[in-house]
Amino acid sequence: MLGAAVGLDCVGDTYPNSGRCCHECQPGNWMVSRCDHTRDTVCLPCDPGFYNEVVNYYTCKPCTQCNQILGLGVGLGVLAPLAALLALHLHRRAWRSPPGGNSFRTPIQEEHTDVHSTLAKI
């Protein structure tokens, strides 16, 4: 209502303050200072191990379980299917392996002799 009172029509990720439309901080950032009549909002990226998932002006929250490669909070909802796929892959791989090792052995077959054979069985 404050924006409407001073004739501002702030749209998108902006908010009215000090007679102007100011930008809100984007996900992954936190607000250092609100805008005023001379400058826009100042936002900084969250520190490692912290996150902010929505557009707002709040401080970053600590990750309870972070993916170190992406720097994102990762829940078990993402990890559980990956663990299940790995377990299935390993199970199938073990099922295909012959008992007793990783090599297939062909049993020795008894030689058949015919009337033209020069081999003799001992």
- The shares of helix, strand and coil residues in the chain, as percent rounded to the nearest 5, are 20, 20, 55
Alpha carbon of residue 51 to chain centroid: 14
User: Which pLDDT band holds residue 76 (cuts at 50, 70, 90)?
Assistant: very low
Domains contained in the chain, CATH given: 1-62 (2.10.50.10), 65-96 (no CATH)
Its pTM surpasses 0.75: no
Q: Please, what is the Cα angle at 37 between 52 and 57, to 5 degrees?
A: 10
Tokens of 3: 């924006």
Pairing of strands 66-67, 61-62: unpaired
Query: pLDDT tens across 91-115, in order?
Result: 677 666 555 555 555 555 555 555 6
Q: What is the DSSP letter of 28?
A: T
Query: pLDDT tens across 26-57, in order?
Result: 999 999 988 988 999 999 999 998 988 888 76
pLDDT of residue 4: 46
